[in-house]
Structure 1
Amino acid sequence: MPYTTEEGGRLNNFAREPKVYRADPPSEKQQLNYVILGGIGVILVGGLIFVAFSVSSLS
């Protein structure tokens, strides 16, 4: 553990820094999957909002 000593003899403990790496851009297949999952998410949220409005107008 990397400790440092401050004024007055207090110890300060720093977290270990993670290894830095470059992220690769997504491939075309991954981009297509993101678009499909995003479309499914929009449809589900839209359906939930539609159901909520239709149920709330019944009473």
Structure 2
Amino acid sequence: MPYTEEDGGLINNFAVEPKVYKAEAPTKKQQRNYLILGVMAAILVGGLFFVAFSVS
């Protein structure tokens, strides 16, 4: 485990860093799924606002 020792004898432990990798762009299917989920979320929030205003 990597660590450093300071002048007073204190030891600082550092976590092991994960490997860095480049993110991949979403595929067309993933983009379509994100769009569908976004529309569904907007409808849900709109419906909740409608219900909240109608009962108040």
Report TM bin, short chain. over 0.9
Structure 2 CA distance, aligned partners of 1:31 and 1:11?
47
Structure with the larger helix share:
1
- 2:10 paired with 1:10: yes
What's the TM-score once normalised by structure 1's chain length? 0.90
**What is the aligned-residue identity percentage?**
70
- Extract unaligned runs of 5+ from structure 2: none
User: Runs of 4+ in structure 1 displaced over 2 angstroms?
Assistant: none
Aligned residue number for residue 28 of structure 1: 28
C-alpha RMSD of matched pairs (Å): 0.6
What's the TM-score once normalised by structure 2's chain length? 0.94
User: Aligned-pair distance for 1:7?
Assistant: 1.4
- Extract unaligned runs of 5+ from structure 1: none
AA aligned opposite 2:21: Y
Report how many aligned residue pairs link the two structures. Answer: 56
